[in-house]
Each structure stands twice: as structure tokens, then as C-alpha cells.
Structure 1
Amino acid sequence: MMLSCWFLLLLFTGAAHGAFMVIKRPKGNSRPPKVPAAVGPPRPDAGSGLGEDPLMDLGFGVADPQWPDPCSYEALAGALQLKTSEKFQMFRPVKNISAPVLIYLEVVLYAILDVSCVNEHMVWSPEDHCGINKISLPTELLWRPDITIEELTEKGSSPPSPYMVAYSDGLVELVSDHIITSSCKMHVYKFPFDSQSCNLTFKSAIYSVEELNLVVVLDSEKVSAWTREKMRTQYEWLFVDITIRNDTVTSFERNQDIIVYTITMKRRSVLYIVNFLLPVVFFLILDLASFLMSDTGGEKLGFKITILLAVTVMQLLLNDILPSSSNRIPLIAVYCIGIFSLMLLSLMQSILVVYLINKDSPEPEADALQTSAVKSEYSLTGDLDNKTDVASELDTPPQ
């Protein structure tokens, strides 16, 4: 069965294992000198020591007159060489190729996926840039992990986030809104009093565990509490909790890190009780009350047949409600079949009683002939009596 879910997707975050660039300033200065960020190639006459222009001392280029103040995002982007270097887009953001990239995932059942990772190339000292500790960048400028969901069958048409946030410690955060449809095996044996558990398995499409590690940021209790707070519309389902499991699996002859979020939900059974279970019980009560009706005539049989057809319609509705993927017959189906069988036996009993009553009574044709003979005899006897009375009156002498 397909289960449509909303998710608050997570951060892909990381902590830097080493600084990519540290800009020092001369001792005694309370703030860095007003020098622009580098744009072009390094100056031939740049010294090796740190002087008044630390950006050019580190080889980031000459000053650009359009950025007179280093306390700007433009100066920071120039110092990080975001416009001239392709290493931010093409390769994993690590200095040592044997070191894995840490990807931190947080899932909240609602609407957003937030992914965070560590980019060792995106590290700077906020003190050298007037306290700037984060910067917003277009998503196409930096490398992004290829995190996928194994159970995903359909993805919504929501537009991707055009920007990501890079922090001074190397943390890069990307937040995206997603409406996804995932596959989930349903167990409806106790329908409508059932609980369902669906998994969301996050993994990389191509990277092995030596290249990319998935890390859980929040534990199950915090994620469950956050989801209960954020979730407003639950329709038929009531959220119970989320459990998180981090594991390593073998896929295509390579080990990969996975994070499995198990979402447990409970079905709201009140509507099914009111709209389905109680009406079937009422039909059974009406069928039992029909025993108070007279067995003569066809009213009782017609009443029972009508109730039996009503229960048949309820069974058709149940067939539309229940998923066809269940391996066991649901208890509610056994309940309907049992009531239908009792009403069928009641109808057969009424038919048998009517049959026995008609069998013990005289034949209809014999009754009609007997009635006709009695009427003829009565008519003939009446005529003879009238004639006798007339003759007696004629023979009697007048007084």
C-alpha cells in the first residue's frame, strides 16, 4: 500500500577536522585592516610574511577597489575563492581523500528535509571578517551529498531550495521542502484498531562507508516530541512515535551507512465504529426482532431479505476500505461474515416455518371446491324451504 507522508527533512552538518584557511592579523590591532578580498591572481611582489594585507599575504589576490571593506560577504567570498575554484563543486569536501564526509540527518514528520555536512574547504576565522560566521551561497556552488530514500516511489513537485548556508567552522546546511510518497507494508488484521510502522531508509547512492558517514543528530525521543509539536493535521492517522536506527549494510559489494527512521502511527477508529460496526449490529438486532412478526403472509420474509441485502452492501463498502495486500483475513471481515451467516440462517428458518405451515393446511383448490359445494347446497336447501312455506300458506283455510 502506498502511504503519503510529509517530512521535516534534515540538516547535513559537519564539524571541521582542520582549518582550510586561517587569516591572522598583526598583533595589537583590534580589528583587521580595511583591505578588500582578493579577486585576481597573487601579486608577484607579495611578501611571505604577514603585513597590512593578510589576504594578499596568503596569496588570495590583489585588492579590488569595489570592495573597500573586508567586513562584507563579497570580501569573504573572494577570500574563500568561491568564484575561481572548482574543487567546491566537483569533489568531496575533504583534504585527505581517505577521510569520510560526515552527513548529519534529522527527520521530523511534517514538511522539511534539513541536511547538513562538513565542508573542510569552507573554513574561515570570523575574527578576521568582523565577526561574520555564516554566509548564504547558491546551492550549485558547493558539493552536495546524494542522499536518497529507498522506499521513495513518488516525489512532490516542490521547487528545490536555491540557497544553502555555510558556517565558519565548515558546517554547510541545506533545507529543502519535500512531499514524498513511500511504499509501506500494511498489517490490517486488527482493522480499524490497528497500528502501522513505516520505514524511511536514508543512504548514499554511490558513496561507500569509507567516503561518507551518516550521523544521527537528535535521538528518538526528541524527534518524536518535535514531530508532535509541529504536526497539526493528521486526518485518519494518529502519530505515535519515531525510532531511529543507524546501521551499515552491504549494497552492490560495498558497505554503506544507512539511517532508518521507523514511523509508528495508529488509526483513528471512531469513524469506523460509528459508520460501519454499529450499523451492522443494528441490522442484526432488527433481524432478531423480526421473529415477533407473524409467519403467515410474506411480510416477514421480505423484511429479512431487505436486511440481508443491506449487510451485503456494507460488505462491499468494507472491500473498498481494506487494502488487498494483507496476508491474513481481518477480524472485521470475520465479524461481517459471521453476522451475515446468522442472518442467512434466520432467513432460512423463516422460509422453513412458512413451508411447514402451508404443508399442514388444506390444498387451495380443494378448499375452493368445498366452498362452492357448500354454497350450492345452501342455495338449494333455501329454495326448498321457501317453496314449502308458500305451499303451507295456500293450504291453510282463512280464519
Structure 2
Amino acid sequence: MKEEVISYSEARPVISLKTPTNVSVDLTLYGILGVNEKSQVLETYLWVRTRWQIEGLSWDPDECGTKKISLPREKIWVPDIVINEFMDENRAPDTYYVYVTSTGEVIDARPIHVISSCKLDIYTFPFDFQNCSYTFNSYKHSRDDVQLFFFRSAEQIFKQSLEAMTTKGEWELIDLLAEKPIQLFLEGGWDNLIVYIVLRRRATLYVVNLLIPSSLLLSLDLFSFLLPLQSVDRASFKMTLILGYTVFLLLMNDLLPVTGNNLPLINVFFSLCMALMVASLLETVIITNILCGSRDFPPLPKWLRILVLEYLAQLACMKKSCEENCDANKSESTFYKNTMTDIPKKGQVSASPVSVWEQCLEEMKKMSKDVLAIRHQVEEHFSNDNSTNEWIMFGQVIDRVLFILYTLFIVVSLTTIMVLWLHSYSLDKKS
């Protein structure tokens, strides 16, 4: 007769079915393969080891000559432990054997290529930290049949993972936490083990390729304020910078995260840089127009004169220059008025013959008409000069205020970047 092969893989290896099988789970994070912000997916490589007991199985190692043997996986019962966050098939190599010890303990070790879902927060990109979780549980067996435990502590798992990890890519392991949730022992529930993987992005690549070039282009636009306002090259220089910055963002678009729960701060930073460059160009165009056509403009409105030439000029440390120009214009106008109106009166003329006096009086009448005409022209000239000077000072104050805003933005943004960068590295040293 043909001998029948007996398989023990159909039922749990317990004497009484009321007894649950205790499964100890151990893992080692061997590699961090990548994080996909668009798909919200984490890709890692794990070594997972599970241990459980076959009740009633034992032998004498001295008599049998070995303490453990390897058996095909199909010949014994194996717990169906899965990771709930799994999003794709396991492409790791298959292992076909398990170890069985003389005490009846089964040791199953296998690699897992994990592609799991992870809620990514890229608000502080590229100085972001991600906390992803792996939830281990049995797919079919409730806690009445299978109960899970950690074989080692989270500190030991973290230490071994750092020693075994070979990948030195964009992400690095900062911490590893493990917990077994406290659950109400209701009938039909599943036992869970949760492992939290804390990752940090290496920001050096993004600081060198994104933030530093962007800050340098913004600094060039800042120093363009040192060019004369009347120079046409200032506007063309700013237009060239805007074009270069646009090309820079297009080339570096692949390095930016595509999607996420929040808009990254770095995108806000780039948008503000572009907005400031465009505002700088518009301000240059407006001020150039003011300087070239200020003689044809109406007088500066009173509210605008108070707001810009007094308050903003004082904030921009230009109050003194504005007052000096206005006082100089007023003194010159007063001088010419006094000069033009200084006509001798009749009582001031010395005694002379009547004929001579009448002749002088006629000449004085003719001259007074000419002097009045000249005075009118001079007053109109100085009035236009005052209006022109006010518009010129208006353009200079706006130019100085935007220069100050530019400087403050660059200082604050660079300081924030350096603080975040140093903070991320200080956390790395502490870990």
C-alpha cells in the first residue's frame, strides 16, 4: 500500500481548541526604500520573525542528535499574520522552511517588502518628520484563537535596525516605538500590535539646490535697489531676474512634493519671492514714470503727502531730507517774491523837478507791468517745482520702504531656514 502523507497545517497545534496560540512577533527594519508624497505611501524592507508553540511536540536532543530541525512551511500550521497598512503585493523572496526546536517552538523568519499607506505631513518640507505605523494582526483568527506579543522591546528593535540598515538615502530612521493596544476582550475581536516608525528627511539636498539659489536670486534683486532710479537698466535687470527665477522653479519642480494634507511652507516662500520680484519691477516702472512725467502731474494729494512724506518717510529715515527740500523751495520762492515786489514807492523817491518825476513815473508804470508778468511766471515756476519735488520724494520714499521690506523678508526667511535646519540636526544628535 502507498503510504499516506499526513499534513498538520490545517488546524492550530493545540490540545484544546479553547486554548489560544501565543505568537511572538519580532522585526528588523533593514532598509527605507522611499516615500511617495503623491500616493501617501511608505516603502520599506523588513525582516519579520514569528514564534509560536506546538503543544504536545518535544523530543530528546541527546537521543535524536539535534536541537532543531527545518521543515517545509506547507507541512505545519503557520499563523496568518499580516500588516494592515499593506498596499501592494510582497515582492521579497519566498522562504520555504521553518525551524522547529526540541521543545516544540516554531521559528519562522521571512523578508517582507512593505508598501504601506502612511499619512504624510509635508507642511515643514524639507525639514519634515514622518510618523508611519505598521499594525500586525491575524487576518482570520480572532483573539480567542491567536494572541500577539512582542518578542523584544522597542529599544532593542530600534538599535538592531540602526545596525542592520544599509540604505543611506533621503530618509533616515530617528526613532521606533511599539505598543499593544488595550482592547476590551469582546468575542470575535482581533489582537493587534502597532509599530511606529519615525523618519526624518535629509534636508541638505533641498537647502543646497532650492533654498540657497532662491535666496541668492532674491538678494540680487535686493541689491538692484542700489541702481539709480532714472536708469533704464534697473528695470531690464529686474525683468532678467524674474525670467531666471521662473526657469529655476521649472527646473527644480521635480524636487518639490506634489501633494499632501497641507501646503508646504517652501511653496509659500517661493511664491512670496516671486511676488516680491514682480512688485519690485512694478515699483520701478511706476517710479520711473513719476520721475519722467512728474512736471505734468497735478499736485500730490494732501492725504498721500501726509501718509508717505511724513509717516512712511519717518519710518524709512528720510524725514529730514524731505523737510530740507521743502524748506529750500520755500526760501527760494520767498526770496524771489521779495525781490520782485521791492518797487520803490512815491514817497521814497528823492525830491526832483516835476518833469523828471513824471517821466520816471511813466517809466516805472511800464516796468511794473513787466515785473508783474515776470513775478507771475516765477511763482508758477516755483509752484511746479514744489509739486515735482513732492512727486520725486514720493517715489524715493516708496523705493526706500520696499527696500526695507525686502531686507526684512530676506533676514527673517534665512533665519527661519537656519533655525529649522539646526533644530533638525540637533534632534538627530540627541537620537
Answer yes or no: same fold by TM over 0.5: yes
Q: Per-residue CA shift, 1:282-317, capped at 9, x if unaligned?
A: 011110122233445643222212222333344456
Q: Which moved more, 1:117-126 or 1:88-97?
A: 117-126
Q: 2:28 aligns with which of 108, 114, 119?
A: 108
Aligned-partner SS, 2:22: strand
Q: 2:58 aligns with which of 117, 123, 143?
A: 123
Aligned mates of 1:96, 1:253 — CA distance in 2: 18
Aligned-partner SS, 2:12: coil
Aligned mates of 2:259, 2:178 — CA distance in 1: 26
Q: Cα distance, 1:360 vs. partner? A: 4.8
Structure 1 residues 316, 117: closer, same or farther in 2, change over 3 A? farther
Bigger fraction of residues in helix? 2
2:255 is the alignment partner of 1:334? no
CA contact (8 A) 2:175 2:198 kept: yes
Q: 1:356 aligns with which of 279, 290, 294?
A: 290
Report the counterpart of residue 223 of structure 1 in structure 2.
Answer: 157
CA contact (8 A) 2:28 2:161 kept: yes
2:174 is the alignment partner of 1:254? no
Report the counterpart of residue 91 of structure 2 in structure 1.
Answer: 157
Gaps in structure 1 of 5+ consecutive residues: 1-39, 42-82, 363-399
Q: Cα distance, 1:327 vs. partner? A: 3.0
Report the counterpart of residue 268 of structure 1 in structure 2.
Answer: 202
Structure 1 residues 150, 349: closer, same or farther in 2, change over 3 A? same
Aligned-partner SS, 2:224: helix
Aligned mates of 1:250, 1:317 — CA distance in 2: 54
1:277-292 equivalence runs, <5 A:
277-292=211-226
Q: Cα distance, 1:234 vs. partner? A: 2.9
TM-score w.r.t. length of structure 2: 0.60
Q: Cα distance, 1:281 vs. partner? A: 0.8
Aligned mates of 1:151, 1:104 — CA distance in 2: 20
Q: Cα distance, 1:174 vs. partner? A: 1.5
Q: 2:71 aligns with which of 137, 162, 166?
A: 137
2:240 is the alignment partner of 1:306? yes
Q: 1:99 aligns with which of 7, 15, 19?
A: 19
Structure 1 residues 250, 236: closer, same or farther in 2, change over 3 A? farther
Q: Cα distance, 1:340 vs. partner? A: 2.0
Report the counterpart of residue 175 of structure 1 in structure 2.
Answer: 109
Aligned mates of 1:252, 1:161 — CA distance in 2: 35
Q: Cα distance, 1:166 vs. partner? A: 0.5
Aligned mates of 1:101, 1:253 — CA distance in 2: 16
Report the counterpart of residue 6 of structure 2 in structure 1.
Answer: 85
2:110 is the alignment partner of 1:189? no
Gaps in structure 2 of 5+ consecutive residues: 31-45, 297-431
Structure 1 residues 200, 161: closer, same or farther in 2, change over 3 A? same
Aligned mates of 1:84, 1:123 — CA distance in 2: 20
Q: Cα distance, 1:203 vs. partner? A: 0.6
Aligned-partner SS, 2:175: strand
Q: Cα distance, 1:250 vs. partner? A: 8.2
Aligned mates of 1:170, 1:272 — CA distance in 2: 54
Report the counterpart of residue 301 of structure 2 in structure 1.
Answer: none
Aligned-partner SS, 2:180: strand
CA contact (8 A) 1:248 1:258 kept: no
CA contact (8 A) 2:132 2:196 kept: yes
Q: Cα distance, 1:253 vs. partner? A: 7.5
Q: Cα distance, 1:230 vs. partner? A: 0.7
| Number of residue pairs matched by the alignment | 281
TM-score w.r.t. length of structure 1: 0.65
Aligned mates of 1:278, 1:320 — CA distance in 2: 17
CA contact (8 A) 2:144 2:187 kept: no
RMSD across aligned positions (CA): 2.7
Aligned-partner SS, 2:124: coil
Among all aligned residue pairs of Structure 1 and Structure 2, give the percentage whose two residues are the same amino acid. Answer: 31
Supply the AA of the counterpart residue of 1:128. E
Structure 1 residues 253, 281: closer, same or farther in 2, change over 3 A? farther
CA contact (8 A) 1:126 1:168 kept: yes
CA contact (8 A) 1:250 1:256 kept: no
Aligned-partner SS, 1:352: helix
CA contact (8 A) 1:191 1:330 kept: yes
Aligned mates of 1:144, 1:352 — CA distance in 2: 78
Structure 1 residues 156, 211: closer, same or farther in 2, change over 3 A? closer
Report the counterpart of residue 134 of structure 2 in structure 1.
Answer: 200
Q: Per-residue CA shift, 1:235-288, capped at 9, x if unaligned?
A: 011211110111255899821111111000111111111111111110111101
Aligned-partner SS, 1:152: coil
1:365-380 equivalence runs, <5 A:
none
Aligned mates of 1:176, 1:297 — CA distance in 2: 72
Q: Per-residue CA shift, 1:15-49, capped at 9, x if unaligned?
A: xxxxxxxxxxxxxxxxxxxxxxxxx99xxxxxxxx
Q: Cα distance, 1:354 vs. partner? A: 2.2
Supply the AA of the counterpart residue of 1:118. Q
